[in-house]
Amino acid sequence: MWDYEVSKIIVERFFEKLNDNLNVDVAIVGGGPSALSASYYLSKKGLKVAIFEAKNEPGGGTWGGGMMFNELVVENDIKSFLDELGMNYLIKNNFISVDSVHFASSLLYNATKAGAILFNNVIVEDIVLYENKVNGIVINWAPVIRQKLHVDPITIMAKFVVDGTGHPANVVNMLVDRGIDIDLPIGKIREYPMNAKEGEKFVVENTKEVFPGLYVMGMAAVSVGGGPRMGPIFGGMIKSGLKVANKILEKLSIEV
Ligand code: 48H
Ligand code: FE2
C-alpha cells in the first residue's frame, strides 16, 4: 500500500523534526539571506538551529534580484564566502554579479545541508518572555494567521532568538508594541531612503543584541537602527548574518 506508506513517512518524519526542534540553541525568524547565512555558519559550528519562514518559499528578497531582473550584486570582499558555498558569479570591478535564483538556492542548500532545519509556512506570531529575557518564540501555521482562524499557537524554546524578518523588524516590534524598552536611535522602527554604500555599512554595524536573548540582523537591523536602505546589493545581508552567528558563538565561548 504505497499510498499509506508515503503518508506515514511524511507524518512521522515531520513530527520527529518538530519534536526535535521544540527546544533549540538558535531560533531564526524569517528565511531571508541574513537568516540563511547565519544558520549556515551556526549549524556548521554544531549548534541546533531552526528557521521559521512565513512563506512557502524561503529566501526572502533574493529571488527577484533588482526589479525582477534576476541578477543581484554583492561586494568583492565576500568572494571567499561565495566560493565556500560553491556559487557561480562574475566579477565586475569592485562588485560581484550573481544570478539571484542561483544565489537564493545556494544559500538555502548550504544552510540546510549544514544541518539547519527549516519550517516554512509558519508565522512567528509572538515571543516567550520571562525574567527580562526572550526565551523562545510562538508559532502558528501561516494560513491560520492569514485566515484569522481562532487557533492557539505553540512555543519553541531557544537560547537565542534572531529577528531576520527584513524591513518590518516584526519580532523587535512585538516588544516595542508592548511598550518594552528597546534602544531605538530614532525613536521608532523606520528605515531611511536609499544610499547603497552607507546602508551596507549600517546594516553590519547595527547587527546586535537588542534585548536579552534577542538579536537583530539584515534589513530588520537597518529599520531598528534607523538607517538607509541599499537596494539590490546583498553583501551586507550576508555579513550581518555572519556577525550574528559570531556574536552567538562568542557568548557560548565557541571558537569562531
Ligand atoms: C516568519 C517571517 C515573519 C514572521 C517576516 O526581507 P528578507 O529577505 O530579510 P533579510 O533582512 O535577510 O534581507 C533583506 C533583503 O532581502 C532586502 O530586502 C534588501 C537588501 N532590501 C534593500 C532595499 O532597499 O529594499 O526576508 C525576511 C523573511 C521573509 O521571507 C518573510 O516572509 C519572513 O522573513 N518573515 N517569517 N514569521 N513573523 N515576518
Ligand atoms: Fe528590500
pLDDT at residue 256 in the model: 80
Q: What pLDDT band is residue 238 in, cutting at 50, 70 and 90?
A: very high
Shortest-distance atom of ligand 1 to CA 222: 11
Task: Identify each DSSP E strand in the chain by its residue range.
Answer: 23-29, 49-53, 71-75, 90-92, 95-99, 117-120, 122-130, 133-141, 154-163, 208-211, 214-216
Mean pLDDT, range 173-198, rounded to an integer: 96
Q: Taking ligand 2, which is a single-atom ion, which protein residues have CB atoms under 5 Å away? A: 61
Phi, psi of 63 (to 5 degrees): -55, -40
Question: What string of DSSP letters covers 83-95?
Answer: HHTT---EEETTE
Q: Count Cα neighbours of 167 within 13 Å in the Cβ-side half-sphere.
A: 9
Q: What pLDDT band is residue 255 in, cutting at 50, 70 and 90?
A: confident
Q: What is the ipTM of this complex?
A: 0.99
- For residue range 82-122, list pLDDT tens digits in order: 999 999 999 999 999 999 999 999 999 999 999 999 999 99
Instruction: Measure Cα distances from 119 to 122, 192, 219 in Å.
Output: 6, 31, 21
- For residue range 2-25, list pLDDT tens digits in order: 999 999 999 999 999 999 999 999
* Cβ of residue 156 lying under 6 Å from some atom of ligand 1: no
Going 249 to 83 to 236 to 135, the CA torsion angle's sign is negative
Cell matching residue 185: 536611535
**Buried/exposed code over 197-208 (b: 16+ C-beta within 10 A; e: otherwise):** eebbbbbbebbb
Contact 84, 41 (CB under 8 A): no
Cα of 232 to ligand 1 centre, how many Å?
13
Cα of 221 to ligand 2 centre, how many Å?
12
| Closest protein CA for atom 15 of ligand 1 | 61
DSSP one-letter code for 59: -
Say if residue 205's pLDDT is above 90.
Answer: yes
- For residue range 21-41, list pLDDT tens digits in order: 999 999 999 999 999 999 999
Task: Tell me whether residue 8 is exposed, middle or buried, using C-beta atoms within 10 angstroms of its C-beta: 0 to 12, 13 to 18, 19 or more.
Answer: exposed
* Cβ of residue 33 lying under 6 Å from some atom of ligand 1: yes
pLDDT at residue 216 in the model: 98
* Cβ of residue 219 lying under 6 Å from some atom of ligand 1: yes
Place of cell 537591523: 221
Cα of 41 to ligand 2 centre, how many Å?
23
Mutating to test ligand 1, I would choose from 165, 224, 242 the residue with most ligand atoms within 8 A of its C-beta, which is: 165
Task: Tell me whether residue 127 is exposed, middle or buried, using C-beta atoms within 10 angstroms of its C-beta: 0 to 12, 13 to 18, 19 or more.
Answer: buried
Cell matching residue 246: 559570531
Cell matching residue 193: 531612503
Say if residue 143's pLDDT is above 90.
Answer: yes
Say if residue 142's pLDDT is above 90.
Answer: yes
Instruction: Return the HEC string of 138-169.
Output: EEEEHHHHHCCCCCCCEEEEEEEEEECCCCCC
* Cβ of residue 64 lying under 6 Å from some atom of ligand 1: no
pLDDT at residue 15 in the model: 98
| Closest protein CA for atom 6 of ligand 1 | 166
